[in-house]
Structure 1
Amino acid sequence: MIKVLFFAILLAQKAFSQDTWDWVRIDCGSDTSYKDSNGDTWDSDDDYIKTGDNKQVASTSSSDIEQLNTLRVFSEQSKNCYTIPTPTSTRYFMRAMFWYGNYDGHSKPPTFDLEFDGNKWATVVANTTSFTYYEMIYATKGDSISICLARTRDQEFPFIPRLESLPLPDDMYPQMRRDMAWFISYRYNYGADDRILG
């Protein structure tokens, strides 16, 4: 057990100690880019997508996670896609987070599909009480990944508050074939304060 835990810690250190200039963190719906309290840079999403409208969650529904208090909602087209650059590595860790926050005042969170490079990633079922997130590791096919939000129900509009992309070392998960994507099944928290890997 100790050997397994030690190996997991070494892998995490290797992944997160590399230069993070190509780690993309997007605060969807934010008007500006900024540095958070940890010194991490969060981009506005204007350089990654040209459709959708910026919104704020209701003041009574604000989250302790800063990036969940703004979002971009897509009410015009049936599918809207972010283009995330993937310049330096073959495998990327991707995370999309969702918090409805009653931004529209209707108290009717939508259901919609999340896709990557034309493949279904997940069906997002938003709710009024908690955020949800989806993670995957994906072997890229080119110099960008397309992350799309697709409407699946009339008058239920996709939205997204936060999107992240982290390049992984080439020798991490060497058994993963290029025609695969790995989706999160579960995660154990060995004493960390945060519920989300970051």
Structure 2
Amino acid sequence: MPEGSTYTDKTTGITYVSDAGFVDGGVSGEISAEYNYDGLDLQLATLRSFPHYTRNCYTLRPKQGKNNRYLIRLRFLYGNYDSKGEPPQFDVYLGSDLWFKDIYIPDPSVDYYIEMIHLAPSDYIHLCLVNTGKGSPFVSVIELRLLDINMYEPLSTSLDVLHRASYGLNERVRSAF
């Protein structure tokens, strides 16, 4: 999104802001028109790619600060934004620690996400996309949500979410803080 702009998702009530104040560098882009259909989450229509440098990092400074638990979710929709027809493959780091190796989205019309429950040891969180020589890294959405500190106790580090499942509900359950 353009610097200074915001968007509130009608379904979740989550407010999204431009990433301009959280990252140095990168190139703003939009997915190709053929992948931008009615009903697509608006926040997935734009992205930031990193064709320069090997490591490009976001610095998130949650107002609640350190010693709090956060859900961190990154979403990716390639959407042939670069007109190359070849989705890139890259790594994602949380600070200096490898979070996810070889992110690859083979279908340009499908959005992909990774998420983690993270206990922040400092007042900032660094998320880095690393070019592994297989195309320019990109990200469509970064979500950072404060969780109740008592959730997932006695967890004293981060918890990588591998799968999310519903056992018995026929509706989506969400809670905004």
Which TM-score tier does this pair reach, normalised by the shorter chain?
0.7 to 0.9
Whichever of the two has the greater Rg, that structure is 1
Could you tell me how far 1:129 is from its partner in structure 2?
A: 3.8
Deviations 1:42-63 (A, max 9, x none): 1000111121011010000115
Are residues 108 and 120 of structure 1, via their aligned partners in 2, closer, same or farther at CA, if it must alter by over 3 Å? same
Q: Would you say the 8 A contact 1:75–1:157 is kept in 2?
A: yes
Distance 2:10 2:170 in 1: 22
TM-score (norm 1): 0.77
Letter of the structure 1 residue corresponding to residue 9 of structure 2: D
State which drifts further: 31-40 or 94-103: 31-40
- Structure 1 unmatched ranges of 5 or more: 1-29
Q: Which residue of 1 aligns with 2:73?
A: 95
Could you tell me how far 1:149 is from its partner in structure 2?
A: 0.4
Distance 1:34 1:131 in 2: 19
Deviations 1:106-157 (A, max 9, x none): 1000000011111111121122241110010111111010011000015x10
State the secondary structure of the residue aligned to 2:44: helix
Q: Would you say the 8 A contact 1:87–1:144 is kept in 2?
A: no
Q: Which residue of 2 aligns with 1:132?
A: 112
Moved over 3 A (4+): none
More strand by share: 2
TM-score (norm 2): 0.85
Q: Which residue of 2 aligns with 1:67?
A: 43
Q: Which residue of 2 aligns with 1:192?
A: 171
More helix by share: 1
Distance 1:143 1:192 in 2: 35
Could you tell me how far 1:184 is from its partner in structure 2?
A: 1.0
Q: Would you say the 8 A contact 1:53–1:74 is kept in 2?
A: yes
2:92 pairs with 1:118: no
Letter of the structure 1 residue corresponding to residue 105 of structure 2: A
Distance 1:53 1:72 in 2: 5
The count of aligned residue pairs is 165
Aligned-residue RMSD, C-alpha: 1.9
Q: Which residue of 2 aligns with 1:149?
A: 129
Distance 1:62 1:34 in 2: 17
Q: Which residue of 1 aligns with 2:153?
A: 174
State which drifts further: 122-131 or 140-149: 122-131
User: Identity of counterpart residues, as a percentage?
Assistant: 28
Could you tell me how far 1:181 is from its partner in structure 2?
A: 1.4
Q: Would you say the 8 A contact 1:96–1:135 is kept in 2?
A: yes
Could you tell me how far 1:192 is from its partner in structure 2?
A: 2.1
